[in-house]
Structures are given as structure tokens and as C-alpha cells.
Amino acid sequence: MTAENQGGTQQRRAVKAVVPVAGLGTRFLPATKAVPKEMLPVVDRPAIQYVLEEASGAGLSDVLLVTGSGKGAIEDHFDAAPYLESRLAADGKDALLASVREATGVADVHSVRQGVPRGLGHAVLCGREHVGDEPFAVLLGDDLIDADEDLLSRMLDVQAARGASVVALLEVPADRTHLYGVAEVEATGEDGVVRITGLVEKPEPGTSPSNLAVIGRYVLQPGVFDVLARTAPGRGNEIQLTDALETLAADESIAGPVLGVVFRGRRFDTGDKLEYLKTVVTLASERDDLGPAFRTWLNDFSKTL
């Protein structure tokens, strides 16, 4: 199933997603002492459910959670809950039953343990056996993408059309680049798609190659695994996915080009306390059921500030 197209090789769209969830969630302590940060509710669903719904909506039907110690609640959330379900059914609570089953049906969910947390690159490498020799997506749980956006689908289209690895890029203010992997890019001729010529993980202020930050969506070629396996610890003494992608970008003969899809829609960062609060308020105010009453209250409340 190969044909040359715009310098790359056409291939099947990825169908597997790797979702690293082993992080300690220290920014949300003490809430995350006994509860995984991915399970913190955004209105009435845990943050991680939005991420798996996004994956499934883009056709990624197989999800591998890369978990760690204390993360069992995430696996439970996506598993069937026979006792709870039979109680809800017996009580005629059909809407609640449907909402419980939504999480079970969202994707074919698997898990692997990271063991020792050695960085994002290492977490992705833990998915090697499950993923095998096919392209795959990586979704980071802290980033929520507006459900109306088709970012991931667009990235998968680019991957399939060009046999490329693809990262999502977002333009951020200069004083925020040190929080992200940042890309050096050149035009491809396709609107919103750039070629990555270099990547730096969390550049020191004033040294950033651009304002284009990598946000937590990647579609990768399986060749990244060999590169990750030989990538030395980088920033924070962790094996960085950004460093492996920099190696791929510097030599297209390894696994094809590394491209970026520039995202201009809404992205919510639930990994930061203030941004998390804004996310909950925004999404609650847009809900059909809660929104009208919540917006009225919010409006009145804002006048008391």
C-alpha cells in the first residue's frame, strides 16, 4: 500500500494511541496524593476521559495507557463495573447507566507499567511491544483539545499522506516557550503544515528557536522506538521525546520527515491549577444541561468580585 506523494510514502492511518499517565501530579498535591491527577473531574468526567474520547473520535480505537504506581483508578474507570451497572439498571437510572458505560466503550483500552519513571520518551518506549511496527499516536493527558476541533484527524491525514511523524504546534507568547518543546520550522507549501528542522526541549528564556510550542499530540513512525532506545537522558535527566524527534528531524532517512500541524483552536491545559479552573468554568458554561444556570450564576458572581 505504498505510493510516492509529496516526498513521503503513503501509509495507513495510525489506529493505536499511547497515553502516558504515570506522572506524579505534584502540582495538584494534596488532591493527587491518593487520586491520579488524570482522574480529577472536569465538570463531571475525569480529564483523561476527554482525551480518550478525542482519540476514539479520530479513529484511534486501541489505547495503551502507560501507567505507574497508584494509577489503578484510571484502569478501573475504563473497565466495566458490573455491580454498579446492575444497581443502576435495577433502579431504572438509565441516563446514569449510559454515562457509566460511555467510559467502558470509548476504546479498546490496554495498559503497561512504566516501572521507574524516566521521562516522557521512556514512557513512549514502554509502548513498543504493544504498538509493534506501525505508526501510532501519543496523547498527553494534561492537554485537552476542544471537542469541536479536528486536530488529531488532521495530523493522522498528514501522517498517512506523507509517511511522516507529525507533532501539534501552538503559537505561544515568548515568555511561555520555556515550558514546552519548541520547534524550528520551514514552510511546506501546505496551509497549516510545516516541516520541523529542529526541536529544543524547554529552551532557556531568550534562546527559543520560535514561538511554536509542541502541545501534547504526536503521531509517530515506529522508527522512533530505536531512536528512543539510544537517546541519552536530557533536560531534567529524563529521556525526552523531544530529543528523539530532534534526531528524526535531523535525518529523514531514519523514519521519514517530521512535520508540524499548526493548531489555531482552543486547547485547555489541565496540568496547571489556574488553567484547570478556567477549563472547568469554560466547559461547564458551555454545557447544554448546566450551562444556562451556571452562566447566570457566574454573571452575578463576577459582579461581586
Specify the stretch interacting with ligand G1P by CB under 6 A; choose among 97-105, 212-220, 273-281, 292-300. Answer: 212-220
Q: Per DSSP, what are the bridge partners of residue 80?
A: none
* C-alpha triplet 43, 49, 52: angle, nearest 5°: 145
Specify the stretch interacting with ligand G1P by CB under 6 A; choose among 25-33, 58-66, 85-93, 209-217. Answer: 209-217
Whole-number Å distance between alpha carbons of 22 and 120: 9
Of 127, 98, 125, the C-alpha closest to 110 is 127
The nearest distance, CB 268 to ligand G1P, in angstroms, is 11
Query: Under the criterion CB under 6 A, does residue 120 sit at the interface with ligand G1P?
Result: yes
Cell numbers linked to 83: 455491580
Q: Determine the size of the site formed for ligand G1P (CB under 6 A).
A: 13
Specify the stretch interacting with ligand G1P by CB under 6 A; choose among 37-45, 85-93, 140-148, 252-260. Answer: 140-148
Query: Under the criterion CB under 6 A, does residue 20 sit at the interface with ligand G1P?
Result: no
281 Cβ neighbours under 8 A, 6+ residues apart: 298
How many Cβ atoms from other residues are within 10 Å of residue 13's Cβ? 17
| Contact status, residue 166 vs residue 155, Cβ threshold 8 Å | yes
Site for ligand G1P in 229-258 (CB under 6 A): 240, 242
Of 103, 139, 152, 215, the one binding ligand G1P (CB under 6 A) is 215
Of 8, 25, 46, 181, the one binding ligand G1P (CB under 6 A) is 181
Binding site for ligand G1P (CB under 6 A): 120, 140, 142-143, 180-181, 201, 213-216, 240, 242
